[in-house]
Structure 1
Amino acid sequence: MGSPQTTGRQPAAEVSLLAGAPLPEPGPANLAEALHQAARRRSDPAICHIDGSGNESWSSYGELLDEASRVLGGVRRAGVRPGERVLLRLGRERELLAAFWACVLGGFVPVPVASQGGPGPLEAAWHTLHRPWIITDTVTGTLLPGPAEGPRAHWIGPVDALGGGPAGPADTAPTPGAGHDVAVLVLTAGSTGAPKAVMLSHENVLSRSAGTILANGVGERCVTLNWMPLDHVSGLVMFHVRDVVAAATQIHADKEWVLADPLRWLDVMDRHRVNIAWAANSAFDLVSSRVEAEPGRRWDLSCVAYVMNGGAPVKARTIRRFVANLAPYGLAATVIRPGWGMSETSSGVVDHRLDARLLDEDARYVPVGVPHPGVAVRVVDEDDRVLPTGSLGHLQVSGPTVSRGYAGAEELTRHAFTADGWFRTGDMAFVEDGALTVTGSVDDLIRQGGLLCHGHEIELLVGELDGIAASSVVACTVEGGGLAVFCALADGTDTGAAVRRVRAAVGARFGLAVDHVVPLDPADIPRTPTGKPKRARLRALLRGVRTDMQLIHHHHALDATTTADAVRELADRQEIVDALHRFALGRDLKDPALFRSAFTPDAEFDFRPVGVRIGLEFPPMHGVDTIAAHVLAPDVDLDTSHTVTNCRVRHDGDEAGLTALVEAQHLPGADHSRHLLLKNVYDVDLVRDDRRWLMRRVRVANLWFTGDPQVILGR
């Protein structure tokens, strides 16, 4: 398919408007009824969680209902009332589902929060949503700020305590909402903007589930595979809730476990005879590269009927390559279905059925298809007038799957809808040959004079150049209107030559001038859970580099003299500080692997100055094994929380120094009425280990303390 027309008019009858088939009544009146129906329809194990070690645990819909009913009782006893919001930050996905459905059963409004990283996102959501209740694990709960009206005062406990264990009493008197009542708030920042809380009602979620079940033949006999976190709309609504409504068998694999070896995705498909799956464009490329490197595997993928390709721009070359690589294993050429959706539409609502063998490998865009039953889309101009087919314009959507707006953001909600009730998606698109093609977001659009293209088009081009790491490229406009290309260079690549190749290729293909080429490590490119780059963060990074470089001659903020060097140095500084954070979080989570990842094998840890200050004696520790054995001693029942602040980095090649303040709170595990609170100064020497930094020597001194020093010994 070629580029859309931007000029010329067509007959009025050929307008850019597509409507799905009529949507029958979704069936269940609310989500709670959908779970009850699934439990009645199936008693066998139908929900599988694959954890970060590859271990599988199975449960039935009845067991999920029972677990949720027990948690519901605990939430009610904590004083939560119907309609009130509850933040859910839970790393164990089975616990997350129990808490989510407990909220649904009780008529509370669950708000899933990403479980990666520290409690910062949880605190930000708490303030944004005006002090909701919180369900999270014990370690995270104790890390929350603790004033009388702060987040910790609204923490009602971990899931196991609320549910009372396997023998806890079940609350069998649900009071769920229905229809237009808000069923869940979805936090989304996308790739460009600030976090927003999307309100999804029971009608929204059930209509979306019913539509995709009809459009894609999802049923009780289907086996589905998802590896998006269940705190994301794609994992929770697009897969889990849809499969509850369909009473399908659903498998949820840990995302990092899959990404550590993308062929595990195919292993699970083969082992469990998966029919329906999902992946973003970048994941298809990862799998293809691994299959090409390891031929001769023994999969039977003839069971796969439908793999949605969404969450990021779809590339014809990627689809053709994936299907060609997996055809010898029985994968049909028609299983990949590009699609489109967003949090505000309750996830994917447009699908396209195609034969990958017929795609033009050099096609600029791939259609995403036709709307699900009940959904309509249109493409309009700047004044919301529907355009002729083939014309590039703004994509709008309507139907029962569309959210009514954003919680606590009336002005944002008002601007999101047209006068006649259509939702402004922020994407550019065109309609041609009866199918919708989404070219990219408005914020991704790059204009220079009369020329325009999307950043993802530049990213595809640059990613194919010699010396550029595939799937590492991000292109966007930056402050002042210039074009920046962020990318990772392959080992041994000459930076100057790579910069020249990037500028020449973009100029030749699109006629655009590249103002900045910024080499970055792939790990330093921020992305959304679906793999889309967070361009706003990269713009801020480049703006920060410029500011720091302006200070070089006066304040020596950085040693770098070029943008690329400054970005690398900033990334190093972030990794240097991260080593201390890994130590602190590893101690708080009692996670030996995370804790040990902060140290060199021969590290030294000197806590003696603190001992002198608090009247105890601590010998110096040598070697990471000794340090871990003492600090994480299994016979010392101690809950801790560490807060790292005021970091100062000294950086010289492959060695670095770090000074920081660390506030450490210690509580006996069995008696939180006693404590020891330390304000310490950490003086750390570090060495580079490939992309990360490791602590080689740590010396800790104390500024002040309160409480009982014997607590630190577990007494």
Structure 2
Amino acid sequence: MQRKNPSRAEHWVTQLRQSAAQQPDRVVFEFLADAREVSERLTYGGLDRRARGLASRLQALAGPGTRVLIPMPNGIDYIVGFFAALYAGMIAVTAYRPPHKRRGWQRIGAIASDCEAGLLLTDGEGQGAVSEWAREQSLSCPVVAVSAEDGERAGHWREPGIEAGDVALLQYSSGSTGAPKGVAISHANLLHNVALMQREMALTPEDIFVSWLPLFHDMGLVGQMLTPLFSGCRALLTLPPLVVQQPLRWLELMTRSGATVSGGPNFIYDHCVERIAPEQVAELDLSNWRIAFNGAEPVRAATLERFAEHFAPAGVTSEALAPCYGLAEATLMVTGTSSGGYSTLTVDESELARGRVCPAGSGRTLVSSGQLNGEMQVRIVEPAEQYPLPEGAVGEIWVRGASVAGSYWRQKGLSAEALGARLEGEGPYLRTGDLGFLHDGRLFVCGRIKELIPVRGRNHYPQDIEATAQAVSPHLIAHGGAAFALDTGEAEAAVLVQEVDRRAAGKSGAVDTGALIRDICAAVAAEHDLQLHAVALIAPASLPRTTSGKIQRTAARRAYSLGELKLVEQWNAKGDTGGEAPELPVGDAAGIAHWICHWIATQTRRPVERITPDLALEASGLDSVAGMTLNHELSTRLGVRLEPDILWRYPTVEALAGYLASPDETREVETWQEGVL
């Protein structure tokens, strides 16, 4: 059945109330904490009642326009909390509750400070941790826990006066800790973008979504929560760390539910190919999967080809693979692949570097991020002189449409620069900072002007990475580093080039530069949940800078790629770790520690002799995705169930191995935490 576009209200409160009145008992969300059994369901009517009840509690504490920070894991409570903020006439500020006290809270604090949060909204399980953190941060705002009984207070709700242009959501950039910027997204922006996705994906009430994406991220919140709700579809939600650790659970859920829509960043498709064996593929049925969207980071032709080939026995076709392009400033979607499969174009790489698109028999193969649509106007513009470029020329991608946000939260200058651009007297346009071109009515993204580093679906700010690295040692020169993204041929990776002082640069060996690199990798992983691909320590005053002293990260990347840096010490993730993987013995602490050391060495591409049992796990350089993978390997090989944050509870490899070897320890039940993406 092809469904017409649903009627669109002026704001989300009216939209949800209309749906609840028309089909109060229709299930819209199901939450599966283990991706196997439904632990909670939510109907349109139930969501409306609970949102009204919780909103009445919020209204008793603060007035309209208050920013409500939501540090919660994926789940029904997150959905209720988000809509309660809107029902109260307040502004939802999406976030997550970090699973470990030493990881992630700094960014949440920066967001709370920037938006001047007036309320903190969390689930019952996390109320204690959030309250403790709020006291430590000297935040005076109340901490409110979502309750299953909130629906009983629905009659106390007072409908606020909301207009379409009112801000509904602050979506903060996913990487910054120092100076976060919140995109102020209105009710009208949200409604326009979900209606666009409903149309472009030809959604009907028969479609079934499966999502493991974080609800604090625009792709999860807008694409996988608001879009199915708006379109009358059923959505099955699970936890991000579960799928990262065991991607087979995701595809098994797709099989059991007959889901038609699901996806994620490019890395998850590679992860599935690497982690799911052919004999496991044979047990899957993915023949109903008609939209496998791929976005949030560069989409790679090799990834799509490998995934389609690997899962063809399960019914996956290349026509289902749907690359897309979007960003928080456009609410989410700008372009997408609808039907007929994705498109690629092989071009002459040297000509592409000169800004010209020349199709060739061999060279660089680019994947289209979808066709243009009638709602979002895409122009390719010369970034410096700001004039339009014709089809086949590379320039900055500019976007105009009703989904584009009007401002960043309380940042007038940045808003005017990035969201208020004009072209040939028309505007405003969003300057995306991405480089691309148009070809046969399709958008191809081929690089970026902006300096964000996209890895595993998250954007990292180079300034944050540089500051973290320079805090490691006084031998690392302040404001003497350049972090940038590098295309390894398989994925986008993060590289750091950093100046050292004269003592470290000397040949006396007075400073262990290898140890400096290890400490840098560990600090960046701990602070930013990011594994560096390479670190280059260079001589003092040799980093490319402008005449005014500004760091030239693009020039640094070019010098790194061409081997033109004045190297003092260098490490990259292509080195040989040495030796075959040892056996993982059960009950043998020393043997388990040896296996873990070898696994870390392999993952971080370091010589195995440098990874010792007394290594602090937080100093290992592993990001959370690698940590969850190690957790799963240990769980499977040792036959135990482990909490997802178990690696960070024990100070060293040796201590963790001792715990795992102990026959008297009672293993934790299988639960999952939020915050790895």
Check the 8 A contact 1:519/1:564 in 2, yes or no: no
Amino acid at match of 1:598: Y
Check the 8 A contact 1:243/1:250 in 2, yes or no: yes
- Spell out the pairing of 1:372-383 with structure 2 (5 A cutoff): 372-381=373-382, 382-383=384-385
Q: Can you list the C-alpha shifts for 1:43-63, whole angstroms capped at 9, x where unaligned?
A: 232201121575422221211
Give 2:60's aligned residue: 77
Check the 8 A contact 1:34/1:244 in 2, yes or no: no
Check the 8 A contact 1:316/1:359 in 2, yes or no: no
Give 1:225's aligned residue: 210
Structure 1 residues 526 and 50, CA, compared in 2 at 3 Å: closer, same or farther?
Answer: farther
Is residue 36 from structure 1 mapped to residue 17 from structure 2 by the alignment? yes
Is residue 150 from structure 1 mapped to residue 157 from structure 2 by the alignment? no
- Spell out the pairing of 1:629-648 with structure 2 (5 A cutoff): none
Check the 8 A contact 2:538/2:569 in 1, yes or no: no
Give 1:279's aligned residue: 264
For 1:392 and 1:28, the matched residues in 2 are separated by 39
Give 1:575's aligned residue: 618
Give 1:421's aligned residue: 428
For 1:74 and 1:578, the matched residues in 2 are separated by 43
For 1:368 and 1:357, the matched residues in 2 are separated by 8
Check the 8 A contact 2:522/2:618 in 1, yes or no: no
**1:253 to partner: Cα distance:** 1.6
For 1:518 and 1:365, the matched residues in 2 are separated by 36
Is residue 64 from structure 1 mapped to residue 17 from structure 2 by the alignment? no
**1:370 to partner: Cα distance:** 2.2
For 1:158 and 1:578, the matched residues in 2 are separated by 35
Give 2:223's aligned residue: 238
- Spell out the pairing of 1:441-590 with structure 2 (5 A cutoff): 441-443=448-450, 458-460=487-489, 463=490, 474-476=493-495, 478=497, 524=525, 562-564=569-571, 572=615, 575=618
How many residues were matched structurally? 505
Structure 1 residue ranges without an equivalent (≥5): 1-22, 447-453, 464-470, 481-495, 497-515, 548-560, 583-590, 605-620, 633-715
For 2:365 and 2:272, the matched residues in 1 are separated by 22
Give 1:196's aligned residue: 181
Structure 1 residues 299 and 244, CA, compared in 2 at 3 Å: closer, same or farther?
Answer: same
Give 3-state SS (helix, strand or coil) of 1:205's partner: helix
Is residue 436 from structure 1 mapped to residue 436 from structure 2 by the alignment? no
Structure 1 residues 280 and 595, CA, compared in 2 at 3 Å: closer, same or farther?
Answer: closer
Check the 8 A contact 2:119/2:144 in 1, yes or no: no
Give 1:107's aligned residue: 89
Amino acid at match of 1:575: E
Give 2:356's aligned residue: none
**1:425 to partner: Cα distance:** 0.4
**1:443 to partner: Cα distance:** 3.6
- 1:120 pairs, out of 106, 110, 113, with 106
For 1:457 and 1:592, the matched residues in 2 are separated by 34
Amino acid at match of 2:412: E
**1:26 to partner: Cα distance:** 6.3
Give 2:587's aligned residue: none
- Spell out the pairing of 1:328-407 with structure 2 (5 A cutoff): 328-353=313-338, 354-355=340-341, 363-381=364-382, 382-407=384-409
Amino acid at match of 1:459: T
Alignment root-mean-square deviation, CA = 4.4
Structure 1 residues 542 and 174, CA, compared in 2 at 3 Å: closer, same or farther?
Answer: farther
Structure 1 residues 302 and 594, CA, compared in 2 at 3 Å: closer, same or farther?
Answer: closer
- 2:650 pairs, out of 576, 581, 598, with 598
For 2:611 and 2:90, the matched residues in 1 are separated by 43
The normalised TM-score by structure 2 is 0.65
Q: Which has the larger radius of gyration?
A: 1
Check the 8 A contact 1:85/1:110 in 2, yes or no: yes
**1:269 to partner: Cα distance:** 1.1
Give 3-state SS (helix, strand or coil) of 2:387's partner: coil
For 1:413 and 1:373, the matched residues in 2 are separated by 25
Amino acid at match of 1:272: S
For 2:452 and 2:143, the matched residues in 1 are separated by 45
Structure 1 residues 166 and 102, CA, compared in 2 at 3 Å: closer, same or farther?
Answer: closer
Q: Can you list the C-alpha shifts for 1:117-154, whole angstroms capped at 9, x where unaligned?
A: 4443332222112343222332223313539x931x20
For 1:197 and 1:445, the matched residues in 2 are separated by 15
For 1:290 and 1:406, the matched residues in 2 are separated by 40
Check the 8 A contact 1:517/1:564 in 2, yes or no: no
**1:309 to partner: Cα distance:** 1.1
Give 1:48's aligned residue: 30
Amino acid at match of 2:219: S
For 1:223 and 1:576, the matched residues in 2 are separated by 42
What percentage of aligned pairs have identical amino acids? 22
Q: Can you list the C-alpha shifts for 1:684-704, whole angstroms capped at 9, x where unaligned?
A: xxxxxxxxxxxxxxxxxxxxx
Amino acid at match of 1:77: A
**1:242 to partner: Cα distance:** 1.2
Structure 1 residues 70 and 574, CA, compared in 2 at 3 Å: closer, same or farther?
Answer: same
Q: Can you list the C-alpha shifts for 1:582-606, whole angstroms capped at 9, x where unaligned?
A: 9xxxxxxxx98857942799979xx
Q: Can you list the C-alpha shifts for 1:319-367, whole angstroms capped at 9, x where unaligned?
A: 1121122222222321111110000101122013554698779752111
**1:263 to partner: Cα distance:** 1.7
Structure 1 residues 176 and 624, CA, compared in 2 at 3 Å: closer, same or farther?
Answer: farther
For 1:308 and 1:340, the matched residues in 2 are separated by 10
**1:70 to partner: Cα distance:** 1.5
Check the 8 A contact 1:395/1:429 in 2, yes or no: yes
For 1:379 and 1:358, the matched residues in 2 are separated by 19
Structure 2 residue ranges without an equivalent (≥5): 347-361, 454-482, 500-513, 542-567, 574-603, 628-641, 669-677
Check the 8 A contact 1:187/1:197 in 2, yes or no: yes
Structure 1 residues 192 and 379, CA, compared in 2 at 3 Å: closer, same or farther?
Answer: farther
The normalised TM-score by structure 1 is 0.62
**1:111 to partner: Cα distance:** 0.4
Structure 1 residues 445 and 172, CA, compared in 2 at 3 Å: closer, same or farther?
Answer: closer
